[in-house]
Structure 1
């Protein structure tokens, strides 16, 4: 994934695994897709070294101190005014997909990549075991509710770690984690970008017209049941005046859940066909577009598929807004940041 023009240094510490870096367009290139082996290997600190292959003094972490002290970095890893802090979610692949898109899109047209710090803890999926596949459709979410405190604390620690590491903006590219967005972002000292707001803003700016006379613009939301129960996207879209259309129980049971099961069996074609059916069910109900609010549906539809144009991926919306924030912040350098709401 990396070319031979840059030496990378790995440091293992007893605090949340992170990845940090400033990607130089002349020396570092990301391949077309992150591999599974790469996702597994990212379990320690990855810091970009200097030209001589040595880690800068300000970024070295002593191994002689206690685990808590080792997490307290006196000097931030990155000091740029437009550094983005990325909180890893339940799915490490969702985090990597966001990171890949952020790197490629921000470094197009000869631009430097957005500086970033990533804090990811794949072990969080053990606190919500069903999140690795799909939650029950029968509405039994007792574990989802009982473990909320543990998950919120996990995410807040990551957020605080990123703030101390020099992040000037926080993003969380995970649909499930956004169920606790209010709790996690409370008290944050820097802007915390809301994926639901990013989607709602883009759809509002599109100035769509209702497909049926006398009704509001309808937006379909296709997601796992846990995301629907959280009510996250519904609330954000409704606040912008959209009518939200959700799949009914039959659609969830006979298309959405089987599609995820097919993905778990590596049956990509079967999952793709079931997803197409689920999207068609919503389109028949006169929705203008469908929000694919599920990690499992990332890149499942080919770009040339006509249905792809009828869908919006919240990860894409978050990437676009993150780049917009970073570029505008870079222009004003260290002027006071205004919290985005």
Structure 2
């Protein structure tokens, strides 16, 4: 039986979940979930480093530390929230097994130390949300190195595709993926590609197709959603300064102090401000904001969760790799 256990140290998940045989056990206020399903658990040390035999570099043997040999093995780098990482994992499992298939082999890195760094980085932009200079002068090197090490670990462990179900981590996707020998999917490219394939028509005659993006200041400042959407020919609509200062940032702050009703009302206002500007849909690039609204909320039906697009693209990649294997 597949079980989730908890540890109080950074850990790595290896497994292949079956959607009919999964349950959770928690024994800690700040758990790290570890899958045990004919799997191997590799823990980092007190400095968040992998064991010496698993600390990979560009000169490492390509088979050193190999865990998976399947051509459709997926490596997943967790982000700000363990809960959001598990939510992505659940969607990946459910979608990949809905037709009675076995599901995908995967490895997940879930590191509370990294989560704290990402939260500190994202929270640092709140002090002066209108100053891009202050944002870009934050020291991002430790975060990038951490993420690169995790990418190398997953790559050398046998992952044939790598994904990051985390918005803010994509700020450094280029640096993290540099030199990677396997596909490293980008959430912005995945959602922009799906929207292009949808062949949307402008809401108002004479305008181009407009896509709204609602996210934290740090994610919007990074600009990767805007770049990927514009590359596909879309006009991108962002919250203006007043909306960011009086609704978006206060909504995140309300969420952090567990004022869910206040946060929910503020998110609704921010969405309505974007929708009245004739956008076709809004990319809701924030796990906190997306989970605030009830599933039957009419406003939520106007939104896209980009991580859903990342799930679908991951499964499409896996199916394509299986077809290539059968061909040869």
CA–CA distance in structure 2, aligned partners of residues 62 and 269 of structure 1: 39
Partner of 2:69: 79
For the pair 1:109 / 2:103, whether they are aligned, the reply is no
TM-score, normalised relative to structure 2: 0.85
TM-score, normalised relative to structure 1: 0.82
How far apart are residue 218 of structure 1 and its match? 0.4
For the pair 1:19 / 2:16, whether they are aligned, the reply is no
Which residues in structure 2 correspond to 1:273-312 (within 5 Å)?
273-312=265-304
Count of aligned pairs: 315
Partner of 2:52: 68
Which residues in structure 2 correspond to 1:1-341 (within 5 Å)?
5-6=1-2, 17-24=11-18, 28-30=21-23, 40-42=30-32, 46-49=35-38, 59=40, 67-71=51-55, 74-131=64-121, 133=123, 135-136=125-126, 137-139=129-131, 142=134, 145-333=137-325
Change (3 A) 1:71 1:243: same
Q: 1:88–1:172: 8 Å Cα contact kept in structure 2?
A: yes
CA–CA distance in structure 2, aligned partners of residues 269 and 62 of structure 1: 39
Moved more, 300-309 or 77-86: 300-309
CA–CA distance in structure 1, aligned partners of residues 8 and 123 of structure 2: 29
Q: Which runs of 5+ in 2 are unaligned?
A: 45-49, 57-62
Change (3 A) 1:175 1:165: same
How far apart are residue 132 of structure 1 and its match? 6.3
Q: 2:6–2:26: 8 Å Cα contact kept in structure 1?
A: no
CA–CA distance in structure 1, aligned partners of residues 164 and 177 of structure 2: 10
Query: Once superposed, what is the RMSD of the aligned Cα atoms?
Result: 3.0
Q: 1:9–1:48: 8 Å Cα contact kept in structure 2?
A: no
Which SS does the other structure have where 1:127 is aligned? helix
How far apart are residue 17 of structure 1 and its match? 2.0
Q: 2:5–2:26: 8 Å Cα contact kept in structure 1?
A: no
Q: Which runs of 5+ in 1 are unaligned?
A: 50-54, 337-341
Partner of 1:52: none
Residue-by-residue CA offset, 1:290-326 (whole Å, 9 max, x unaligned): 0011232232222211111210011111011111111
Q: 1:216–1:243: 8 Å Cα contact kept in structure 2?
A: yes
CA–CA distance in structure 2, aligned partners of residues 61 and 277 of structure 1: 45
